[in-house]
Amino acid sequence: MTVPTDDAAFTSDELMEVNAARALADATTCFVGIGLPSTAANLARATVNPGLVLIYESGTIGSKPTRLPLSIGDGELAETADTVVSVPEMFNYWLQGGRIDVGFLGAAQVDRYANVNTTAVDRGPGRPEGRLPGAGGAPEIAANCGRVLLVLRHSRRNFVQRLDFVTTLGHGGGPEDRARLGLPGAGPAAVITDLGVLRPDPATAELVLTALHPGATVDRVRAATGWDVPVSDALGTTAPPTPQELAALRALKAAGEDV
């Protein structure tokens, strides 16, 4: 979905993608989920972080695609990689071994502690649950990477009071939960949406709206969030996309469509 913002120079999706890429400015290595995270990570390589090492769960380390891959197994990811390893090696040595900075994930449902559901949704009494794709690499990516970024569109369907299923732990139910479970990484550091950016409060681990994208409002965020989301006293506004960022993003997408 590409909803034009007021001045129609860029879409709300583009705001989300550009801001997600900016969140990788200081990363060394990124374990990349397909879809929006992959868009963000490839845009980061084209803009704020040319040296970023992209790692895909299909086994590629250091992929340098010139277009957006349709899938994590796209041939270009393997052909442009520094190396290709087996899937057991990827998960055991590189991920569980604690060698990856940032895990970048999408989500179907997220709650106030940035826990994630990608498994199944409750469709109401007497009806079978609705199927989602499943866990994939996410539980261990979120557990073992140094920190986690989430990117997804903002709606009440996605930002829910209570997850129907916890596929992947974010901050559990508070700041102590990750340590109690012995999860090595720091967990979700930001949730980037088409309306703004939410970050966990260090004291409570609960997500707080810390920045709005140009054109978005607190009321729109509240209307699209299934709980009473706190707003930071220092609420900021993200910088609009630069012409270079927009050009790079559109070039990546256009190249992908030619395939």
Partner 1 sequence: MADIRSLHHAVADLVRDGDTVAMEGFTHLIPYAAAHEVIRQGITDLTLVRMTPDVIYDQLIGAGLVRRLVFSWGGNPGVGSLHRFRDAVENGWPRPLELDEHSHAGMANRYVAGASRLPFAVLRGYRGSDLPARTDTVSTVVCPFTGEELAAVAALNPDVTVIHAQRADREGNVQLWGLTGVQKEAALAARRVLVTVEEIVERLEPRPGGVVLPTWVIDAVCVVPGGAHPSYAAGYSVRDNAFYQAWDPIARDRETFTRWLDENVRGAGAGVR
Catalytic positions, please?
57
Shortest Cβ 212–partner 1 spacing (Å): 30
Interacting residues toward partner 1 by CB under 8 A = 34-35, 57-60, 69-75, 78-79, 83-84, 86-88, 90-92, 95-96, 115, 119, 128-131, 133-140, 143-144, 165-169, 172, 177-178, 181-184, 259
Between CA 105 and CA 94 the distance in angstroms is 17
Which is closer to partner 1, CB of 144 or CB of 158? 144
Shortest Cβ 97–partner 1 spacing (Å): 10
Which is closer to partner 1, CB of 71 or CB of 244? 71
Give, in order, the Cα–Cα distances in Å from 17 to each of 82, 124, 192, 250, 254. 25, 33, 9, 11, 15
Which is closer to partner 1, CB of 49 or CB of 101? 101
Which is closer to partner 1, CB of 169 or CB of 195? 169
Shortest Cβ 91–partner 1 spacing (Å): 4
Torsion of CA 191, 196, 202, 203, to 10 degrees: -110
Shortest Cβ 173–partner 1 spacing (Å): 10
Give, in order, the Cα–Cα distances in Å from 142 to each of 59, 62, 153, 213, 219. 17, 20, 19, 26, 30
